[in-house]
Amino acid sequence: MNPLSQFLDHLYTLYLPGAVALWCATAFGLAALWGYASALSGDRSGLRFGRRAYNLFTLSLVITSAVLFLNFYLRDFRIEYVHSYSGLDLPLHFQMAAFWAGQKGSFLIWLLFGALLGLLISPTCSRRNEPLVMGVYLLTLMGLVLVLVRENPFVMLNEAPVDGKGLNPLLQDEWMVIHPPIMFVGYALTAVPFAFAIAAMLRHDYRHWAQRAFPWALGSFLVLGLAILLGGAWAYRTLGWGGYWGWDPVENASLVPWLLSVASIHGLYMERTRGRYRRANLVLVCLTFLAVLYGTFLTRSGVLADFSVHSFVDLGISGLLLSMMGFFILLSLGLLILRLFIRPAPTKINEDPLISRGSFLVLSTITVFTSALVVAFGTSAPLITSFMSNPAQVGPAWYNKVNMPLAVLATVLLAWVPFLTWKGEEFREVMRKMFFAHGVALALTAGLALWKIHNPFHLVLVFFAASAAVSNLQKTIARTRAGGWAAGGGYLAHVGVGVILIGFLASTAYDYSTKITLEQGVTADVADVEMTFTRFIPKQGREKERMEIKVEEDNGRSFFIYPKLFINDRTRALMANPDIRKYLAQDLYVSPIQFDPGQTATDTVQVQLAQGDSYTLGNSEIRFESLDMAEPAVLVAQIQEGGQATIGASLKVQVGEELHEVTPSYTLTAAREVLTPPAGLPEGGQVVISGMDPNTGSVLLTFYGLDPRELYRPATLAIDVTRKPLINLVWLGLAIMLLGGLIAMFHRLRQVRIINALVD
């Protein structure tokens, strides 16, 4: 290919149409901002122009994403990003998932979903507020555009590789095909209530803002919650450490915005129904979006690269992320100071008695908000201590300890809220209404106490979590009967919270784990079952190396499990994937630790050893110390003079407490004959030098005349076996909570359409 053709090919791939579409998105985004600004200044055509420009902005991003998807589909390894995260061996769904495996693709998919969501904002806005809301929302997207302009995903390599580097095996999981996109949809959703809040503060007009922001806040709660659920499921079934949540900084980066979104929806509910806590809601909604930006900075700037297994390396975008975060912090902080202290946003004074629905909702919001602050502080520990000689992070035990009292308080509040009124209740009356819920909770708590939960603090958590689940289920049924299925969504979500907390406690504080080494063909008692390591299954196509273990239960039933232990082709690190047997009340979780293929029965063994290497032979530990030889020039001279050159291999043989020296030799005569006289071994048998490399100092040794019975060593598999009690309650509770939130969201969206019709 001539230089001109190479240049045109480079130009086409780099700029047409992918990068040009990205630049067009930048231009159309700026044009849309100009149109919305014109509409705010009174130009009637500005809103129409802004809408059209925003549509073209979205279309440009769709084209940009489609081109990158096409490059992955075609396996165009000339593109640096495609080469870095895909390979010829990947099936189509993992090839497409490689799109968001790195920084550039993940920012692009976040931006794409954000732009598409923007098309849905107009129906939830009044025409009067649309220019300002859309303008603020578009600003949040333009920050991501600048990141992608800086880090072009279409950069080409100088040469076209035959194959790509491949996708990290840990990401080659069906959950990871859908988990990251859902997470980025959740991140994008947090910007919508933020835009409504900023617009309300700029206009100093708060009519209906809570009603319009509420469904979007519910949406971010739902989508982020679903993403966290999928991420936990992926970690549980893939990483092999026996858990679903490790308080890793990247996990916390999604948890903090989710907790703040929970606080926001409760606060917005109070404002929408009672007209109270408007100023607090403005703070919460702003903090939710800012938490997304802060988490993005922590995990994608490289500042936590030494503390998180998920953290991305620094691509040089730290400055952009800091600038983006700084801009929105200053914007939010300036407006909040203005609307909280200088020209305060109007709000109704709270006059609710202590034992009332309003007071308990406020206390619940404060509890969740406190948990978010605690998690954010712990996640920021490496950054806070970065000025010290040894930056540190807090461990899972710290998070569990500080969040446990908050969880108990949350369950107490959730248990009582369904039976409280806005006007307040007498304590005796509340207890009367809670009689059934407390009775069921007491029976469950007593049962778990007889089982194995004896910690008083844990028993209190179980009692109130069960009370919360039962009381909110009662309220869900009552509201559904009175107002249809859409009326009980919020209470159904609270049912899920109670179920989750019981599952959390049982599966983490009361799991049983043991490590054992299984000898192939030998049955062992492990975790109330009998296990037999039957065979090692080599790699077959895309199926990684597996170990087959037969499990026999006391009732006579048996089944096979197949944990995986393999070498990561990219990092050459040893990887472990567990296998899980699910029961109604618990999981049997088996993760491999180490596999030893053993040694077959033979009287001859040949092994290559480098200097300093050791080899176990029966009861002997043989270490190759060095080659005993003259300088190469001297050896050559000896042979040329008609003599012979001899090289010895110095071996140290450890048998029990005794150390022996054995020195087999290798002699080359002038007639080019090789003499390898054997050397005797302490436990019988002999060793000869079958070959050597004087340049590297390695030697090939052959041991023969050995006793096969002493050399035989069966294959062994070390495993970690864990019983996870009631873990299904975690997944069930999350599903119930998300279903309740989904029902509530559709109910509120219907109300927003009615409000907009009246306002417009």
Q: How confident is the model at residue 156 (pLDDT cuts 50, 70, 90)?
A: confident
CA distance 429 to 435: 10
* pLDDT over threshold 70, residue 68: yes
Q: Do residues 200 and 209 touch, judged by C-beta distance below 8 A?
A: yes
Which DSSP string corresponds to 56-87?
HHHHHHHHHHHHHHHHHHTT-TTBHHHHHH--
Of 126-140, 360-374, 612-626, minimum mean pLDDT range: 612-626
C-alpha 254/C-alpha 248 separation (Å) is 10
Give the per-residue pLDDT at 265.
94
Q: Which residue has better confidence, 318 or 552?
A: 552
> Which tokens in the block code for residue 543?
């199926």
Instruction: Check pLDDT > 80 for residue 729.
Output: yes
Structural contact between residues 723 and 510, judged by C-beta atoms closer than 8 angstroms = no
The percentage of the chain sitting over the pLDDT mark of 70, rounded to a whole number, equals 91
- Tell me: pLDDT of 14 over 50: no
A 10 A CB-CB count for 59 gives 15
Structure confidence at residue 632 (pLDDT): 64
Tens of pLDDT, residue by residue over 228-255, are 999 999 999 988 888 899 898 889 999 9
Stretch 544-565: mean pLDDT: 94
pLDDT at 433 over 50: yes
pLDDT band at residue 467 using 50, 70 and 90 as cut-offs? very high
Distance between CA 301 and CA 299 in Å, rounded? 6
Confirm if 691 and 488 have CB atoms less than 8 A apart. Answer: no
DSSP state of 276: B
For the chain, the average pLDDT equals 88
pTM attached to this predicted model: 0.86
Q: Which two tokens stand for residue 680?
A: 């005797």
Both tokens of 630, joined, read: 């003259």
* pLDDT recorded at residue 7: 56
Work out whether the CA dihedral 487, 488, 489, 490 comes out positive or negative. Answer: positive
In terms of Cβ atoms closer than 10 Å to its own Cβ (0-12, 13-18, 19+), residue 206 is: buried
> Does position 282 have pLDDT exceeding 90, yes or no?
yes
547 SS3 class: strand
* pLDDT, tens digit (0-9, with 9 covering 90-100), for 384-426: 877 776 777 888 999 999 999 999 999 999 999 999 988 888 8
Query: What would the two tokens of residue 123 be?
Result: 């129906």
Is the confidence at residue 128, as pLDDT, over 90?
A: no
- State the average pLDDT over residues 527-533: 94
Q: Report d(CA 144, CA 139) in Å as an integer.
A: 9
Tell me, what DSSP letter sits at residue 88? T
Q: Return the higher-pLDDT residue of 359 and 617.
A: 359
pLDDT of residue 158: 80
- Tens of pLDDT, residue by residue over 614-645, are 988 878 899 999 888 766 666 666 666 767 87
Model pLDDT, residue 758: 46
Provide the 3-class DSSP secondary structure of residue 119: coil
Q: 746 or 594: which carries more pLDDT confidence?
A: 594
For residue 677, count other CB atoms closer than 10 A to its CB: 12
Q: Is the pLDDT of residue 310 over 60?
A: no
- pLDDT, one tens digit per residue, over 643-701 is 787 888 899 999 888 999 999 988 877 777 888 889 999 888 899 998 887 677 789 99
More confident of the two residues 437 and 599 = 437
Query: Is residue 306 pLDDT above 80, yes or no?
Result: no
More confident residue, 519 or 749: 519
Contacts of 336 (CB under 8 A, 6+ apart): 201, 282, 283, 286
